[in-house]
Structure 1
């Protein structure tokens, strides 16, 4: 399934008590400065980024991609910063990708592994679709972020490479504190997704680090 510059998104807001369908609309993009975590200096975050887990120079075998070993090696931003997450007005997790029935990861892994500090995270599952199965509005993810999250909020995202590139072009990557980058290289068994050379995945990872984003490679 091809993912275009303008995505067709089915946005599902998952809360503890109910699940509601949320549809977005186009808004004017705003330039966002590099992210500054509340209560922490830019130097402190710079040091934290240097302590992220090492990037994998070769993609892991498919059998190991979903293992607990991968999640255990991930060094999460709140742990690296010693951040209690108390100072944020809102906590948000956004998962952008295929529906679970088509190979998407879902959101359960986040609740089970991320150091939420017992904070309630609003969870958004944003499904990329071809537009044939569901009725949804056309919206860019960069515009969606500008409309739905604010700089003083703590935002974690998992997204496919094409989506991340669109967010970067829209100058909205600064709204994301921590990112799990899903980049499927040539040879991936997942169908209907744009393939790219693995060096391109690494190059995108490097650009995100340069933007000050706490980025992790996602293999789940």
Structure 2
């Protein structure tokens, strides 16, 4: 039997769509999380996925539950080989994190989110203030009772220059459709300077770039996760694909005032950059809302 090697870019989505399901018996990838959906779809049951592990300590490898590690070896980097035991179906839905099982189904639900503001509130019409009070929450869009999740979590991520008296947790508990179910709440301060500056009562701290690691160490695929976070933190989670652990996100994206430098207020950005980030999040299947504080 003739064997041949296909090299497929993680960003070549048209080529990926053209590959039939369960076409491959062996896959080699240097970033499983970034390509997990494509690998799982195209790898046959019983096939092997060999993964080159990153040296970045912020990335924690989470083995899918329908895979079994069969080989680990150190070369120039660590290599893990996993065998695919079965397909992710309703039979193992207890380990599936959402009622919406595919990215296309998630995106279909997200089309019913409130429209994004094309200008920030201070520049938009007077109707924007009424808009701010009308987010279309994910459980309402999907009809999810939230009862099937073993754990429900809200994470309020703040940066060092935020007002420490302000809290998204109070807003969340007052406004979010919790269905009268318990949500564990966390306030996490991401640090860009010395960690000792974060030793405040009731506030956990994580090193800069460490929110992805915190998520992977503290929440699981099958849990329901809501988060409020600033754009700088969200971009890091997008890069590592840890954002896929978040079901619903309230995105705070600070925009520049006239004459403001890039370093002021955490590197505020042009509003079009905020809109581009919003689009990238919906492409990942995250229910995202604009947060204005």
Normalised by the shorter chain, which TM-score bucket? 0.7 to 0.9
Aligned partner of 2:77 in structure 1 is none
- SS class of match (1:101): coil
In the aligned structure 1, how far is the partner of 2:166 from the partner of 2:60?
A: 28
- Offset of residue 169 of structure 1: 1.3
1 or 2 for the larger relative contact order (CA 8 Å, sep ≥6)?
A: 1
In the aligned structure 1, how far is the partner of 2:170 from the partner of 2:131?
A: 15
In the alignment of these two chains, the number of paired residues is 191
TM-score, structure 1 as length reference: 0.75
Please, which runs of 5 or more residues in structure 2 have no aligned partner? 1-56, 65-95, 200-204
- Offset of residue 44 of structure 1: 4.2
255, 266, 272: which is aligned to 1:199? Answer: 272
Q: 1:96-151 deviations in whole A, cap 9, x for unaligned?
A: 01476357443100001000011100000012343353345636100111100001
In the aligned structure 2, how far is the partner of 1:133 from the partner of 1:96?
A: 16
129, 134, 149: which is aligned to 2:198? Answer: 134
226, 247, 253: which is aligned to 1:156? Answer: 226
In the aligned structure 2, how far is the partner of 1:80 from the partner of 1:182?
A: 22
Q: Which range moved further: 205-214 or 103-112?
A: 103-112
Alpha carbons of structure 1 residues 194 and 175: separation in structure 2 relative to 1, 3 Å: same
1:123 equivalenced with 2:185 (yes/no): yes
Q: 1:137-180 deviations in whole A, cap 9, x for unaligned?
A: 63610011110000100000000000001111112111000001
Contact kept, 8 Å, 1:88 with 1:153, in 2: the verdict is yes
Q: Cα RMSD (Å) of the superposition? A: 3.0
Alpha carbons of structure 1 residues 32 and 77: separation in structure 2 relative to 1, 3 Å: farther
Contact kept, 8 Å, 1:96 with 1:125, in 2: the verdict is yes
TM-score, structure 2 as length reference: 0.58
Contact kept, 8 Å, 2:159 with 2:190, in 1: the verdict is yes
Aligned partner of 2:172 in structure 1 is 110
Alignment of 1:1-220 (within 5 A): 28-30=59-61, 37-42=97-102, 43-61=104-122, 69-98=130-159, 101-102=163-164, 104-129=166-191, 130-131=193-194, 133-135=197-199, 138=207, 140-187=210-257, 192-220=265-293
**Who wins on radius of gyration, i.e. which is larger?**
2
In the aligned structure 2, how far is the partner of 1:115 from the partner of 1:71?
A: 16
In the aligned structure 2, how far is the partner of 1:138 from the partner of 1:128?
A: 6
Please, which runs of 5 or more residues in structure 1 have no aligned partner? 1-25
